[in-house]
Structures are given as C-alpha cells and as structure tokens.
Chains A and B, each alone.
Chain A
Amino acid sequence: MALSLTKEKLVEMYRKMLEIRFFEEKVFELYAQNLVPGTIHLYAGEEAVAVGVCSNLRKDDYITSTHRGHGHCIAKGAELKRVMAEILGKKTGYCKGKGGSMHIADFSIGMLGATAVVGGGIPIAVGAGLSIKLRDTDQVVACFFGEGASNQGTFHESINMAALWKLPVIFVCENNLYAMGTRQSRAMAIENVADRAIAYGIPGEVVDGNDVLAVYEVAWKAVERARKGEGPTLIECKTYRHKGHSRIDPAKYRPKEEVEEWLAKDPIKRFKERLLQTNALVEAEIQQIEKEVSAEIEEAVKFAMESPYPTPEEALEDVYA
C-alpha cells in the first residue's frame, strides 16, 4: 500500500520530517544561547510518528498533543514561524506568548492544543470525537500521548468511552521507552501498550515508530476505520527521543549502547535511504529539500527573534471569553 504513494506525497512527508528535525535542532541551539525561556521537550527522533499519522489527515481533522508537541504542530501544518515565536514567548506566537513550548494550538488547522498534564489531552480527544459524531461529519481525531500517559486513569476512561460509543479517534501512543527517567519496564508489567486495546474491545497495533511508511500504513487503516464509523484504534509506535526528557536532562539513565542502537535507526536517515533506494528521489533532490527547509527554519527564527514580546498587561487578557 505504502509503495503506491505518489512522489509528491513522499516528498511532502520527507520535508515535514526534516522541518521537525531542523526546527528542533534550532530550538536546542537557541536554548543553549539562553534565548528560550522555560523548558523544552524536543521531538527529534520521533518524527516518523507525527508525520506518518498526520499525513493521513485532512485539514479539518483534529489532533491533540502533549508537552512534547512541536512535531505534532508542524506535522499537522502549523506555521513554523508562529510555533517558533510562541516558544520564544513572543506576541506573534500562536498563543500570543501565553502558552509557550508546552501549550501550542492552532485551531485553524484542527490542532486542538498541547496539554502539559500527562494524559490530560486524551479525554479531550474523546470529546472532539463525540462532537464529530453528534455533528454527523466524517472528521477524525488523532490523539497523541506517550507510553507514560497510558498509565493514567484518563487513558483507560477515554478508550473505554471511545470504544463504547464507536468514536472516530485514533489513539497514538508514542512509546519512547522512558517517562522522564522511568523506563517502561519499571512502570508497567507488559511490553506492548497496544495490548491494552483488547481490554476495551478495539484493535491494537504495534508498529515500528521509526519507519514513517509503516506508521503511515497502520494509521491509514485506523483513519479509514474511524471515518467509516467503526470506532477507535490504539496504535503503539515504538520510537526513541534523541535528547533527554527536557532541557536539563542529560539522560544518563539510558545505556550508551541503547542510545547508539536507536540513533542508528534514525527515522529520517532510514526514510532517506528508502527514497534513494527506490529511486523516488535522487541525492540532488534531497539536498535541495534540505536547503529549502534550512532556509525556512532561518526565516522562522528571524521572524520570532524580531517579533516583540507581549506588553506585560496582556497577562490580564483572555482569562474569560
């Protein structure tokens, strides 16, 4: 199925993955220069998940996101410059500087927002699914969360509810093996989060989360199922974050061999090799895309850096609608 994707689609997916990677590398760099207030949770390494899932979605479909949400925003089609401006706390950011890295939303593209409470976005995705059902449209919701969140009560309450009502929700577990410093095996007695699907009577799929085409294919099936009114699917994407949990975290709890093993499975590297091998793209085209994406990122940084901060009194605005 995946091989039937058009060249245009493959290029778009590769470009999105690169946008996320380059964006995150730039955020990390700005952070090191003390230009980013607060903390950051980088998505680098997990690009195949957001892009593999969101490449199946329409503009009017919804997603919910997490504290590690830059990649979700970009994959759903958010403007890089406004994401960057928000991360820098600028007035031109998506949330006028009120949200920051962990709370970006763009309702114009169905990005319903990132919540920084682990598991907090899962019931909200169910509500969006319920809304779709009540409004009788064929939209779907992709709900991103980590394996850590699958230990929250909200995960279980939400999947049960979505399964019961056959809501058009795709639950996407980004299993990056660690919830902060807690390895999955120290937080749950099972190996596959997807196995939990059986408890709620819905399909559960495990997929290589560093293979964008594999993610695309599994998500495609789940989206089709959701659009047809057949209900939710739980997809577990096995992946790995390249950096620590947040900016202060050197991730010393991860064995060196494990990190090396996962870095070798870099989703962008693998996709690039695949594209070259199948002659979908040639090296020159890849280089051209890289150049273009780098320029986009520079432009986003310039926009964000040159944007003004909100005036202090704006802190008092938007408490109530």
Chain B
Amino acid sequence: MRKVTYREALREALREEMRRDPTVFLLGEDIGRYWGGAFKVTEGLAEEFGDERVRDTPISESAIVGAAVGAAITGMRPVAEIMFGDLTALAMDQIANQAAKIHYMFGGQVKVPLVVRTPFGAGVNIAAHHSQSLEAWFMHVPGLYVAAPSTPYDAKGLLKTAIRGYNPVFFCEHKLLYPIEGEVPEEEYLIPFGVADVKREGADVTVVATLYMVHKALNAAEELGGEGISVEVVDPRTLTPLDKQVIINSVKKTGRMVIVSEDCKTAGVSAEIAAVVAEEAIDYLDAPIKRVAEPDTPIPFSPPLEQYVIPDEKAIIKAVKEVV
C-alpha cells in the first residue's frame, strides 16, 4: 500500500471533503496561499478551492471559532484551524460555551457541524505557550467530540468523519506526527468515532496510549517483547466518545494497565481512562494502574528540561515492569 505522511493524510481528507461538499470551507491564520498553514497541512488547497473557501483570517482566535459556529448553524460546514493548541484558550468561550452547547441549550433545534483542528504536543523547543497537550480540557465539555489520531490512516479517516458529522469536533493533532509516514489506501474510507484500535496485540499488559505517545508505546512494546513481556497497545483514537469496551476487554485479557498520555497528569486524559477501568473492570486487575504522563509543570524551553518532562520509552518500560 502507498505511504503518505500524517500531514498529507489530513490534507487529503480536507481536499476530498471540499470536493465532495461545497459547504465545507476552511478558515484560520495563515492557512491560505501565502503560507499554507503553520504546519503546511493546508498547502495547495487555496490554489484549488480559492481564497474564499480557504480563508486566511486576522489573528482573532475567538472570532475564528465564533465565525465557524455562526456559519455552522446557518448551513455551512466550517473547519477552523487554530495554529497551536495552546491558543485554543483564546477561543474557549466559543468552543466550550457556544459550539458545544448550542444544540442542547436550544432544545435540539439546530446542529453545529464544525471542526476545530489544532496541534498539541511538546518536543520542538518552543516552550510553554506552544507545547501543551490540553486534550482533557475538551473531554470535560459535553457536546464536543474529541478526536486524537496517531497515524496517517486514522488522521484521514477520522477527519473525514468529523467533517461529515453533525456535531462540533475538537480535532487534536500533534506537531511531531505531521512528518510521520504510514499506509493510507487510495480508495475512500471513513473511521467511526468511539472505536479504539489495538495497534499491537499482546497478552501480559495493556498500554493505552494517545497521539504521539502511541509511537513511543509501540517502541517500548517492541523492546519489552525482546525481554519476554508481551504488550498490547490500545489507541482510543477518539477521546470523546471513548471506546470503553475495547479498553476493558484488553484489561480483562491482560489484567494489567499502563496509560501513556503526554498531557500533565492531574485530571488528565489518563485520569479519565484509569477511572473508567477502576469503575468498570477493577476485578480484572492484578496490579495497580500506572500512569505515564507529564509532571504538573508548564513545558520548559531548554532541551534538557523539556526532554525531562516529556514521557519517553524508558518511562513506559519502567511502568510496565512495575506492574508485570
């Protein structure tokens, strides 16, 4: 099968959906013909679809998402890009109070089919305002779906589903994933929300990992396999809805669970997943749940400081060994 990068897979999803549906349009800062998006996801799209549908905006995150909301409730399917995940804080009212609540608050009168795409993640030395992983903020808002693909295949299939859906989707990307290559078929496919993917089967311990951490978990699993420890790596792919069943089934099989997520530990993604298993499958656990996450600090700048706080393969291996 052909291989494309995560970035190209996202671009293909946007291109295909824009060709299929004239109500789909993109807006965001520097996404158009002059720059093609800070991470080049939208490169070339303005040339094909024009500046109206691939719309550069002023630096106004709140108005970007608000405009997407207004367009979504009047017949369009906007896809907004927020250049860095950290900057979603500037648009939080529109995401959490408006987009997420309009369908409910107005008694189901109107649907809000919009997507907000944004990259999270540390690892490129750009410090505290451009490196966070804030997925959990959005998991805490009923009315939003939260997608978090780790591979080009998942990125394309989930983004197409997000664009075709009828709910606001917060679409988490990761800046270190953009250049990663993976198999993506030529033919069209969609990936439903709420269906986790077992990225590697194993028998001794379940490692639930998200976004870039999936790749580190797979590296760790490979190394542990050499030492005779069989690791199953589960990628939820969407955090809301969360596929509890695949996670619980895996835990039933292995009896052990490590959760790996790049966000800081307190009240993070890993806390929710741990709580689900504690509530619904604790009898199947043979060891305490372990969480590998960032310590509760802002992301520091200096390379040795930054590397210290980002979860790595060593930390995953250590956590696995503590439970097996």
Expressed in whole angstroms, the minimum distance between the Cβ of B132 and any Cβ of chain A is: 21
Complex: A160 Cα to B142 Cα, angstroms: 31
Expressed in whole angstroms, the minimum distance between the Cβ of B57 and any Cβ of chain A is: 7
Contact partners of A164 in chain B: CB under 8 A: 58
Contact partners of A93 in chain B: CB under 8 A: 107
B69 at the interface (CB under 8 A from A): yes
A127 touches B71 (CB 8 A): yes
Expressed in whole angstroms, the minimum distance between the Cβ of A151 and any Cβ of chain B is: 14
Contact partners of A112 in chain B: CB under 8 A: 70, 73-74
B102 touches A131 (CB 8 A): no
Contact partners of B103 in chain A: CB under 8 A: 318-321
A131 touches B63 (CB 8 A): no
A134 touches B98 (CB 8 A): no
Give the bracket for the number of chain B residues in contact with chain A: 35 or more
Complex: A47 Cα to B167 Cα, angstroms: 35
Contact partners of B5 in chain A: CB under 8 A: none
B107 touches A96 (CB 8 A): yes
- Name the residue on A nearest B101 (C-beta): A103
**A86-140 with Cβ < 8 A to chain B:** 93-99, 103, 105-107, 112-113, 115, 117, 120, 122-135
A160 touches B58 (CB 8 A): yes
B108 at the interface (CB under 8 A from A): yes
Expressed in whole angstroms, the minimum distance between the Cβ of A20 and any Cβ of chain B is: 21
A319 touches B72 (CB 8 A): no
A157 at the interface (CB under 8 A from B): yes
Contact partners of A134 in chain B: CB under 8 A: 25, 52-53, 71, 76
**B92-109 with Cβ < 8 A to chain A:** 93-94, 97-98, 102-109
Provided the pairs A117-B93, A134-B52 are in contact, do residues A161 and B63 lie with their beta carbons within 8 angstroms?
Answer: yes
B76 touches A131 (CB 8 A): yes
Number of residues of chain A lying within 8 A (CB) of chain B? 44
Expressed in whole angstroms, the minimum distance between the Cβ of B198 and any Cβ of chain A is: 26
Complex: A126 Cα to B235 Cα, angstroms: 38
A62 at the interface (CB under 8 A from B): yes
B281 at the interface (CB under 8 A from A): no
Provided the pairs A62-B74, A94-B106, A320-B143 are in contact, do residues A154 and B167 lie with their beta carbons within 8 angstroms?
Answer: no
A66 at the interface (CB under 8 A from B): no
Contact partners of A127 in chain B: CB under 8 A: 66-74, 78
B112 at the interface (CB under 8 A from A): yes
B60 touches A135 (CB 8 A): no
A153 at the interface (CB under 8 A from B): yes
Expressed in whole angstroms, the minimum distance between the Cβ of B60 and any Cβ of chain A is: 4
Contact partners of A120 in chain B: CB under 8 A: 66, 93-94, 97-98
Complex: A162 Cα to B315 Cα, angstroms: 50
B225 at the interface (CB under 8 A from A): no
Complex: A98 Cα to B66 Cα, angstroms: 22
B97 touches A98 (CB 8 A): no
- A123 partner, pick from B70, B75, B102, B143, beta carbons under 8 A: B70
A135 touches B107 (CB 8 A): no
Expressed in whole angstroms, the minimum distance between the Cβ of A11 and any Cβ of chain B is: 31
A317 at the interface (CB under 8 A from B): yes
- Name the residue on A nearest B72 (C-beta): A127
Complex: A126 Cα to B65 Cα, angstroms: 10
Complex: A99 Cα to B106 Cα, angstroms: 6
Complex: A97 Cα to B52 Cα, angstroms: 39
16 A-B residue pairs with Cβ-Cβ distance under 8 Å, sorted by A, are A62-B74, A95-B105, A95-B107, A96-B107, A112-B73, A113-B73, A113-B102, A124-B66, A127-B69, A128-B73, A128-B74, A134-B71, A135-B75, A154-B63, A157-B60, A160-B60
Closest 8 CB pairs of A and B: A127-B70, A123-B66, A95-B107, A157-B60, A157-B63, A96-B107, A127-B67, A318-B108
- Spell out A's residues near B (CB within 8 Å): 62, 64, 93-99, 103, 105-107, 112-113, 115, 117, 120, 122-135, 153-154, 157-158, 160-161, 164, 317-321
Please name 10 further chain A to chain B contacts, defined as beta carbons within 8 Å, in addition to the given A131-B71, A321-B166, sorted by A numbering: A105-B110, A122-B66, A123-B70, A124-B73, A124-B94, A127-B71, A133-B52, A134-B53, A135-B75, A321-B167
